[in-house]
Structure formats: structure tokens, C-alpha cells
Structure 1
Amino acid sequence: MASRLHGITASGTVRVAGVAGAIFLTALASVALVWWLDPALHGAFDPGLLWRNALPVFLVILLIYALSGRALPTWVFGGTLVWIVFNVNSIKERNLNAPLLPGDLVLWHQVLHNIGFFANYTGHRFVLVLTALVFMALLWATWRLERRWWHPHWMARLACVVLLSAAIVTLYRGDALWRAAYADEVLPGFEVWDPMASVANTGVMAGLVRMAQEAQTAIPKADQVLVSGFAARHTDEIKARMARQPPAELPDIVVVQSEAFFDPGVIKGVDFGSFVPNFERLAATGITGSLATPTYGGGTIRTEFETLTGYPIQAFPAILYPYYGMASEWMPSVPRRLAAFGYSATLFHPFRSSFWNRRQVMSELGFQHSYYLKSFAGVERAGAYVSDHALFDFVLAHLDDTRREAQYVLVITMENHGPWDSDPGLLANVLDGHPLPSGLSTTGTMEMTYYLSHLVNGDHALGDFAKRLLARPRWTVLLFYGDHLPALPAAFADLSFDDHGAAVQEHTRYMVVSNRPLVPRKLDLSSHELPALLFDTIGLPEDGYLALDSLVRQDRSRDHDLHGTDYRLMQFNAAQLEVACRHRLDAAGHCGGQRPPSSD
């Protein structure tokens, strides 16, 4: 009996020792992983920064151990998971100039449903598949080989699962002491408005924790006094804009959001218009200028949301993807504003309707008709996507001059979508007579050849489209703009820009042209200002928010009343106020009545 009890005690001691050893090794592995994978930790040794980056990794891997009860498979699975996170972060930084952020979690189903599309950005599909197979084989082997006496008791494991889950949730929410552990004082390089710099200064994991803590407040509190004070100084002008009569003849409005369009004239040694002569020729006949957009290399819906609502997305730093959790049918979007004057709204986008959640959101924002990828079966492609030529032909075939109601059309192109590191094939022939800029490396040459081939091809398509569109007997207004610059890291590093700025600081272009007289002028804008410019140009009545937007733009151009950051502050607060109260602002800069019912 004594021998049996001694054996049980010894077995229990061994088990406890094995579990303690597994936890200790997990802590060491967590520190080693973040030190190995995170360049931000390779400078001067900072123990505080190291443990703040290792802690979330340690908690997650320990949770996996508590769930599985097996140490070896936990280390294989947990280590691979951390490696994937850092590599995905690197890919996102390279292509979008943004690190992994808490809001990216809303896209998990987008990634799973479009794995082929996102795999293009890895550049190594075969290696990716092979790595996945090796990982699964290794995981199976370690699961089979795991020695059973390392298993913690199920009751202890259950308690650990509860405690670790609570620790992880409260860590990312910033509850209790966790917020102090990741505060500004201990993370002096963290800046919520600059995630890239923050991650470079504090590390990927510490930055992710801090940004998750900051993301708990979705809608910042607006400064009502600032908004109403500005409105009070412009009461008569706001009321006049709200009360003006729409023109007797309403124009058809066609908006083209061109994928990754910009004029390479901002690059050293490249002349404006040399690659986009049709854009330059058309822009000279209307309103044009540079366009500041809230994204780089991707994240199209950020610019798209701004041009559909007039809200600057940067006023809501916790919201990365506005089509997930922010866009709502209460919003006075451009289609809904135009519907009040009798407009119908149609969307043309030759890609999957589920991508970026457009299938749900676009109807909420007021589109009655939508044409997605299935409608473009059999049409011409340029590379991987439907060509701009084919898309514009499709749009023109569906525009009806005989319809009594005016039409609002949004066209979202796909031809020049990234990644921009492929062989353009026969399309490269369009670059004949368009020599590449000098000074390009091999990788830079590949990037520029692919991008510029599609840019020149798209410019040809734009010239033909505008010619036929503006030849229609109906009054027609065309707004064309680029949603963001392409991510061409090697090419941009090789060439640099005229203003010596970084690629993420450069702007796209826009133009408003019409087949009715329009006074040409140059006006540099941000993408959220395009709705107000459109209404102002046509002479449509503006609601309170658009009137405020127009007057802020007007004051800024006259260089009085508001300057620089004051302008941004005014615009951001007006947007925050309208979104917070979920109702249109009135002429006094207040929420204009009771909040309407919402379907969210």
C-alpha cells in the first residue's frame, strides 16, 4: 500500500514538474519568438519592451496548452501561429503601409472566402501549400508522440482556460492594471494616429495590444461648441445653400473610382500627363487637383466610404473598415441625398459582391441596382481582372438617355488592382512610346512595367469613355478620381518623388468635367470633400453637413477663419457629431431632430 501511495505521489510530482517545465519553456519560447521575428526589438536591449511584446504571445500559447493538454503540439501550433501573424503583418505593411490592427479581425471570413486572391500577395503559392502540408504533418506527429504524463489534470486545465481567457480579454480591452502596463509612459514611441511608426517603435505585439485598448471607443466625442460656433458665423450662407432650388434639368452623374490611379508626374524625371494624356486633356476642361485619400496600396473602401458620405474616416481612428460596423442606412449618403430629387442609383463593380461586404452595404447606402462580377461573364480581361475598356462599354450600354429620372452611377474599376509585381504579358505593348523612368532596379522595373501598362491602357479607356459619355444629349457630369496610390516599394525607392516625400504622403488626382459649360479651375481636396463639391458644382441643395463642408472648404481657400489643423478639426468634429447622433445636422450645427429608426 505504501509502495502504491509512493508511486502515486511520485507520479503526481513528475506531472507537476512536467507541467511547470512546459510553462517555463513556453515563456522562454515566447520571448525568443518575438525577439527573433520583430525588428523593433533588435536595437538597444529593452527588457520592458521585450516582456510587453512577449506577454500576449505567452498567454495565447498557454491557452492552447490548457485546451490541448499536450506541450509539443502546442509549441508547434503556437509557434507557427505567431510566425504567420508576423509574416501577415509584414505583407500588410509592404502592400498597404499599415500594420496588423484589431479591426482586421472583421475580415477573417473575407480572407477564407477569397484565399486565392489574398495568396497573390505572398508571391509564393507553391511554397505556401508545401509549408501548410509540412505543418500539418509535424502537428500530427507531435500529437502522436506526446508523452501522457505531461498532461495536466482536466480540472486544472479548465480553470486555466477560464483564467487565461479572462486575462487575454481584459488585456486587449485595457481593463484594470493592463492599461497602465501599456500606457504612454512605458511605450513612449506609441502614437495612435500613426500605427506604422508605433509598431516600428514599440513592436508588433505591444502595438497591437495598445491599439486594441484604444479601439474600445468607436466614435470620439465631438466638440459641439466648435461646430455650432462655426455654423453661427455662417448662418445665412448655410441656410442659402440648404434652400437653393435644384436646376430645372437634373444631370446624369457618373462617378468613376479608378483603382490605384495616380499621375506618375509626381515622380522625379517624369512629366505630368506623359502616361495619362487623356486624363490631363479632360481635366484641363473642368475642376481638377490633387486628392488626399485615407489609404495607401489598398483599403479601397476607406476612400469609397468618404466619397459616398462626405465623412472623413480619419475622424474615427478606431474604425479601419467602415463597411463593417459603421456604414448604415440612416446615413445621408450621396445616393440617398440624390434620391430626394428623383435620382436612381446604380453600382457597377466587376468583382465579387461579397468582397468588402458591398452586397449588404451598398443597398443600405441607397443603391437600387448593382452589377457585380457575375454580370460581366465573358467580357474582356486585362490581366487578372475585367479591363476598364470592357467595364466602360458595359456602363454605357446600361445608361439610358430615354429615362425620365436622372441617374447616379458609381463605377468601381478593377483592372489595375495589385499586387503589381507580375508580368503584364502582351499588355506591355501599350508602353511603346512611353519609356520607363531611368534608375529602376530589376524589381522596380517589373513593378513599374506592370503598373504603367495598366495605367496607360486605362487612360485609353477613359478617353474613349468620356468622349462617348459626354456626347450624350442629356446633361452629364463625370467625376473621376483615384482611390489610392499603388504599393510599388522597390520602384518608389529607386526613383523618389519631386517633393522628396514618402509614397504614403503622395496624392492621387481627380477631375469633374461636364458636357455643359464648366469654369476650369484647380482645387486640391481630400476625398471626403468630393460630395460637397459635386452638389455645389451642379447647384443642388445641400443638407447641413454638406453646407458646413462647402463653407469650410471655401474659408480654407480664402485663407481666413480656419487654417490648417483648424480646418481638419472643424471637419472631423462635424462628422463625429452627425455620426454620434445618427441624424443630419441642421443649419445651426446641431442634430436635426429625433434619431430615426435604425435597422442595425
Structure 2
Amino acid sequence: MALASAALVWWLDPTLRWTFDAALLWRNALPVFLVMLLIYGLSGRALLALALGGGIARLVFEVNAIKELNLNEPLMPGDLVLWHQVLHNMGFFAHYTGHRLVLLLLALLVAIAVLWAIWRLEGRWRRPHWATRAAWVVLALLVLGTLYRGIGPWREAYADEAMPGFQLWDPIDSVQHVGFMAGLVRMSQEARSTVPQADGSLVHDFAVRHAADLKARMTRQPPAELPDIVVVQSEAFFDPGVLKGIDYGEFVPNFERLAATGITGSLTTPTYGGGTIRTEFETLTGYPMQAFPSVVYPYYGLVSAWMPSVPRRLAALGYSTTLYHPFSGGFWNRRQTMPELGFQHAYYRQSFAGAERAGEYISDRALFDYVLAHLDDTGSGPHYAMVITMENHGPWDFDAGTLANVLNGLPLPRGMSAAGTREMTYYLSHLVNGDQALGDFARRLLARPRWTVLMFYGDHLPALPHAFEDLGFDDGGVNLQEHTRYMLVSNRSLPAQQLDLSSYELPGLLFDTIGLPEDGYLALASAIREAWVQDHYQHGAEYGQVQFNAAELEVHCRHKLDATGRCHEGRAATALGAGN
């Protein structure tokens, strides 16, 4: 079984095949061997343990390959919280398997037949005594438990020194250096981490140096008339002009026209190809996901009702807060977490029954029409609407069908492969369709007599691996280094400004532009943003550390930071999720 485990991971993992490293090989083979040993102890059948354990390992590698292809991220311990999401949304996740789904189903049928035959065959052979088998079970469980929790010698065996190239904040690069199974063990050991211990003195020193700015932000009076605020998180939106052979604005002319009237720039987001809630969490709280490296999905264990989020701050100013998302409310745990983040009302897929679709999902146009109707029907007070689109959701390697007609007159770049052409045709068809819907939505929204502010941004780049490889980016970078776009416009004049941001900086930009009071972390974050703009060449890294430590500090003490950058009350949380 030990030899079979080593041969299996060597065969399945390209990292181990490219360069033979005995130390990495055993670190990757050990988890597979322990699973086989556990099955052997439970069943007393060696061939069954080899076949079933090997099949489980192959399945895990296949699922990991699907996730890497679509999200550029390996399987991680945090994915376990999604098991019920997968079971309840099999149709949604099946889109990402493509032809692999058929192959996996066929392989499952063959595996069941083979396992049944092995079971019958080995049933005729003598099995070890029950006491011996119990010893194997206890040993396998004990080693598996301590291995994945990093107890005893296992912490050192999978430490940085033992696996050069592993970096917790870059999982995909790490598994390409140390192997998938070894990387998964190490990430599981780190997943036990509590909220990182913040350097409070770093935050306090910054607050002292910028005391006047923080005081002005915290004490400023809101405008006499509060505007309606509409924030649109557009699924997989970016301007393909960053690709070679495509001009900026060629496929998104309405976005470019609107962006030129307000504040716009590139947007750095904490995810690629999927994982929307990572960007969503940043724009709702202002907390950088990078400050919490052990957290993969913030809506599971990190979000808490105490958080002074954007909708919660606006509600305190008299706003009604509403979420619009034409998909399942249970997906990504939104139905539970959105009220905790301060949303008073929410409209999910059931509210859009009969709405027009564009391909698999509710069209952006139908979603925008629904939002406009509700904005006009609600009361006279100020409204905050968070709109999360679905039309251009991946995967993007399907036939665009009749929707491809919107590309008439907009030829694709030359020299793409068949796979790249298919991806770009599907993605651009929905992008152009969504851009047209955005132009109509903005025209009607900003024509309202009430002061209205519209913020629009893309949550992440789409996963178009073949198209990106065929074309390449103008700056020579790779997909993970590229950015989405954002804009902030209003029906009251705004000075046109080019400002590149990270998604966690959008809340501060919104409050600053409108002139709303900021408190605690948000005031600090806005002061950090202004300081970075003025002095990022010499002290940019330092400001980033202040930002991350401020977020960690506020989450650790579960309360707003005060004007000195310290916890207002000493209610320390001992672990992630303590506030749930």
C-alpha cells in the first residue's frame, strides 16, 4: 500500500513527475497511504483498500483539476464548508465539469463494479483478526488526525524549511512547488489559525500622525439631502482592452462613456474566475481578505452582526438597505449573512420568476428593470441598493447561441484557437449584452430628480484560460496579475478622476465622495488611502501593513476602532467565527 500510494501520487501530480524528490514524494503519498490503511483496517481486504483508496485519491485530484482550471486555485480545507452547497446546487456546479462529468459518472459505475468484484473475491480469503484490524484503524485515525492538525512532529515535517516554495498566501503556486497532497496537509494545519495577532502599535502610530484627518472624517456632518446609492457588482466584468488585439471600450462602450464622467480606474480584487464573495465581502466591510490568510470563504465563520458594514453605517443615517440578487439566497450562505451585514430587505431568485433570461441566468436588463421599479415604488427616504448580477457567470466555454448576434460588427481578434474562440464568443456576447443593459439602466437611473450615486465594478476576471493564452495581455502579465474595472458616477457633477484601487477601498471612496461621516476602521482606511496616493513610492508597503493590521485589530476585538486606532472595548475574539 505504501508503494502504491507513492506511485499513485507520482502519476497523478505533475509537480512530482517534473522533478523526482523523495522527500516531497513521501509527504504527498502519506495521506493516501493512511486512507488505504484505514480502509484495510475497517474491511480486512487489502485489494479493496488499494482500489477504493486509489479511487478516492483519483477523484480528489480530478475535482482539484476542475477547480484549478476555473478558479486558478487548488482545493483547500475551507472548501469543506461547501459540501452542502454542492449537494443542493448540483446543476450549477455540473456546468464546471464539462465533459468530465460524463467521464466521472462512467468511472463511478466502473469503480462500483470493480469494487463489488473485489469484495466478492476477497471474501473467500482469510482476513486478519479483529484486534489487528482495530489496531490499524486506530493508528490510521491517530496519524491522520495529528497530521492534518499539525500536532507533534508533523508541524515540523511540513514546515517551510521542509517544503521550500510553499507560501500560504499563494496556494496555487505553492502546490506547484510542493505537490497537491502535501500542500493540502500544510493548509489544513494552518486552517486552525485564529484571527492573526495585530500589531496595535503600528495602527496607533499612524492614527496619531493623522489625528486631524481622522477627526475631520469622524465629525463631518452628512449632506442635508442624502442621495440614493446603487452599487452594482457585475459578474466577471472587465474591459478586454487589456488583451492584445482589442481596443479599450471596443466591447464596453457604455461603461467607458459613463466612467469618463466620474471616478474610475483599475480594481484589484482578491479572487479570480470565481469566489465572488471574497470581493463582495471587501466592498461591504472594507476589510482586506489578505489580512485573513486562513479564511477562504468569509461568509462562513468570519462575518458577524457586530461588523460596522456599509449597509449598517448607512442604516444608522436613515437609509433603507436592500439586496438584489437573481440567484439562490442559500448560495454562498447569503440568506444568513446579509442580514448580519445590515441588509433590511433582500430579493433572490424566487422574486424574479418569469424574468427574461440571457442564456442560463436572469439577464442584467431584467435585473436592472426590477431594481428601478422598486426604487421608484419605495418611500421617500434615502435608499441603498446592492445589485449582484448573474448573466455573465461562468463557465464560459459554452455555445453562446443566438446571443452571439450582439457581436455583429465586432470581430474577434485573429489567431485564436477553437477553444479560445469559443470562450471569447460566449463571454463577449454576454459582456456586450450587459454593457447595453448598463447604458440603459444608468440613463434611467441618473435621470431621476433625486440625487443618485451609481457605483459599478467587476468582481473578478473570467476564467478564459485558452483565450488568455492565445492572445496574451498588453502588459505581458498573467491572468492573476490583471485587474477588473470600476466607476463611481452621479447625476450631480463629479470631477473626472483616474484612481486605481483595491476592492476593499471602495467603501471609503463612496463615503468620501458623498461626504458621509466615517468612523473607526473606515476612517482609518480612508486616511490610509489618501496617504498612499500621496506617498506610495516610499511608504506604500508600510501603509499596506497598517491597513491589514487595522482590519485584524478590529475583527479581533469585535468593535469599532476609536480615533487613536485602538479597540474601543476590549472584547477580544479568540477564533474566527466567535461573533456568529
TM-score calculated relative to the size of structure 1: 0.93
Q: For the Cα contact (< 8 Å) 1:259–1:482, is it kept in 2?
A: yes
Instruction: Confirm whether residue 77 of structure 1 aligns to residue 58 of structure 2.
Output: no
Instruction: Confirm whether residue 249 of structure 1 aligns to residue 225 of structure 2.
Output: yes
> 1:560: how far off?
6.0
Q: For the Cα contact (< 8 Å) 2:558–2:579, is it kept in 1?
A: no
Q: Which moved more, 1:99-108 or 1:229-238?
A: 99-108
1:43 to 18, 27, 34: 18
Q: For the Cα contact (< 8 Å) 2:556–2:572, is it kept in 1?
A: no
Could you tell me which residue of structure 1 aligns to residue 403 of structure 2? 427
Deviations 1:235-274 (A, max 9, x none): 1110110011011111111000000000011111211100
Q: Which amino acid aligns with 1:570?
A: V
Could you tell me which residue of structure 2 aligns to residue 17 of structure 1? none
Could you tell me which residue of structure 2 aligns to residue 412 of structure 1? 388
Q: Which amino acid aligns with 2:246?
A: V
Instruction: Measure the CA separation in 2 of the matches of 1:320 and 1:126.
Output: 29
Instruction: Measure the CA separation in 1 of the matches of 2:69 and 2:126.
Output: 42
Could you tell me which residue of structure 2 aligns to residue 263 of structure 1? 239
> 1:114: how far off?
1.2
Instruction: Measure the CA separation in 1 of the matches of 2:180 and 2:494.
Output: 50
> Which has the higher Rg, Structure 1 or Structure 2?
1
Q: For the Cα contact (< 8 Å) 1:289–1:524, is it kept in 2?
A: yes
Deviations 1:322-360 (A, max 9, x none): 001101111111111111101111111111111111111
1:105 to 77, 80, 84: 80
Instruction: Confirm whether residue 188 of structure 1 aligns to residue 188 of structure 2.
Output: no
2:310 to 312, 319, 334: 334
Equivalent position SS for 1:288: strand
Overall identity of the aligned pairs, in %: 70
Deviations 1:404-425 (A, max 9, x none): 3211111100000111000000
Could you tell me which residue of structure 1 aligns to residue 418 of structure 2? 442
Q: For the Cα contact (< 8 Å) 1:218–1:319, is it kept in 2?
A: no
Shift of the 337–576 alpha-carbon distance from structure 1 to 2, 3 Å rule, reads same
Q: For the Cα contact (< 8 Å) 1:555–1:561, is it kept in 2?
A: no
Instruction: Measure the CA separation in 2 of the matches of 1:349 and 1:77.
Output: 41
> 1:70: how far off?
2.3
Q: Which amino acid aligns with 2:195?
A: I
Q: Which amino acid aligns with 1:272?
A: Y
Equivalent position SS for 2:517: coil
Equivalent position SS for 2:317: coil
Instruction: Confirm whether residue 52 of structure 1 aligns to residue 22 of structure 2.
Output: no
Unaligned runs of 5+ in 2: none
Instruction: Measure the CA separation in 1 of the matches of 2:276 and 2:571.
Output: 30
Shift of the 399–448 alpha-carbon distance from structure 1 to 2, 3 Å rule, reads same
> 1:402: how far off?
5.8
Instruction: Measure the CA separation in 2 of the matches of 1:41 and 1:57.
Output: 15
Q: Which amino acid aligns with 2:92?
A: F
> 1:599: how far off?
5.8
Instruction: Measure the CA separation in 2 of the matches of 1:116 and 1:61.
Output: 31
Could you tell me which residue of structure 2 aligns to residue 477 of structure 1? 453
> 1:100: how far off?
1.1
Instruction: Measure the CA separation in 2 of the matches of 1:169 and 1:565.
Output: 38
Q: For the Cα contact (< 8 Å) 2:252–2:432, is it kept in 1?
A: yes
Q: Which amino acid aligns with 2:56?
A: L
Q: For the Cα contact (< 8 Å) 1:33–1:79, is it kept in 2?
A: yes
> 1:154: how far off?
2.5
Instruction: Measure the CA separation in 2 of the matches of 1:595 and 1:251.
Output: 35
Could you tell me which residue of structure 2 aligns to residue 20 of structure 1? none
> 1:520: how far off?
1.2
Instruction: Confirm whether residue 383 of structure 1 aligns to residue 359 of structure 2.
Output: yes
Equivalent position SS for 1:256: strand
Aligned pairs for 1:169-184 within 5 A: 169-184=145-160
Instruction: Confirm whether residue 122 of structure 1 aligns to residue 97 of structure 2.
Output: yes
Shift of the 295–599 alpha-carbon distance from structure 1 to 2, 3 Å rule, reads closer
Could you tell me which residue of structure 2 aligns to residue 486 of structure 1? 462
Instruction: Measure the CA separation in 1 of the matches of 2:385 and 2:168.
Output: 36
Shift of the 599–229 alpha-carbon distance from structure 1 to 2, 3 Å rule, reads closer
Could you tell me which residue of structure 2 aligns to residue 299 of structure 1? 275
Q: For the Cα contact (< 8 Å) 1:59–1:164, is it kept in 2?
A: yes
Aligned pairs for 1:222-371 within 5 A: 222-371=198-347
Equivalent position SS for 1:361: helix
Shift of the 356–402 alpha-carbon distance from structure 1 to 2, 3 Å rule, reads closer
Q: For the Cα contact (< 8 Å) 2:452–2:490, is it kept in 1?
A: yes
Instruction: Measure the CA separation in 2 of the matches of 1:562 and 1:104.
Output: 39
2:40 to 57, 65, 85: 65
Q: For the Cα contact (< 8 Å) 2:266–2:499, is it kept in 1?
A: yes
Deviations 1:539-576 (A, max 9, x none): 00001211111111111111269623222211111101
Instruction: Measure the CA separation in 2 of the matches of 1:48 and 1:573.
Output: 36
Q: Which moved more, 1:214-223 or 1:480-489?
A: 214-223
Equivalent position SS for 2:323: strand
Q: For the Cα contact (< 8 Å) 2:557–2:572, is it kept in 1?
A: no
Q: For the Cα contact (< 8 Å) 1:309–1:331, is it kept in 2?
A: yes
Q: Which amino acid aligns with 2:78?
A: G
The total of aligned residue pairs comes to 575
Equivalent position SS for 1:400: helix
Could you tell me which residue of structure 2 aligns to residue 547 of structure 1? 523
> 1:401: how far off?
6.1
Instruction: Measure the CA separation in 2 of the matches of 1:444 and 1:580.
Output: 45
Deviations 1:481-523 (A, max 9, x none): 0000000000000000111000111000000011112111111
Deviations 1:142-164 (A, max 9, x none): 22222354423223323332222
Instruction: Measure the CA separation in 1 of the matches of 2:156 and 2:78.
Output: 22
Deviations 1:105-133 (A, max 9, x none): 11111111112211111112333332222
Equivalent position SS for 2:539: coil
Aligned pairs for 1:485-524 within 5 A: 485-524=461-500
> 1:179: how far off?
1.1
Equivalent position SS for 2:376: coil
> 1:51: how far off?
0.6
Q: For the Cα contact (< 8 Å) 1:218–1:316, is it kept in 2?
A: no
State the Cα RMSD in Å.
1.5
Equivalent position SS for 1:370: strand
Instruction: Confirm whether residue 29 of structure 1 aligns to residue 39 of structure 2.
Output: no
Instruction: Measure the CA separation in 2 of the matches of 1:191 and 1:595.
Output: 31
Instruction: Measure the CA separation in 1 of the matches of 2:156 and 2:42.
Output: 29
Q: For the Cα contact (< 8 Å) 1:380–1:390, is it kept in 2?
A: yes
Shift of the 401–112 alpha-carbon distance from structure 1 to 2, 3 Å rule, reads closer
Aligned pairs for 1:533-572 within 5 A: 533-559=509-535, 563-572=539-548
Instruction: Measure the CA separation in 2 of the matches of 1:165 and 1:577.
Output: 37
Instruction: Measure the CA separation in 2 of the matches of 1:474 and 1:210.
Output: 54
Instruction: Measure the CA separation in 1 of the matches of 2:229 and 2:516.
Output: 12
Equivalent position SS for 1:563: helix
Equivalent position SS for 1:367: coil
Q: For the Cα contact (< 8 Å) 1:381–1:387, is it kept in 2?
A: yes
Q: For the Cα contact (< 8 Å) 1:401–1:474, is it kept in 2?
A: no
Shift of the 355–150 alpha-carbon distance from structure 1 to 2, 3 Å rule, reads farther
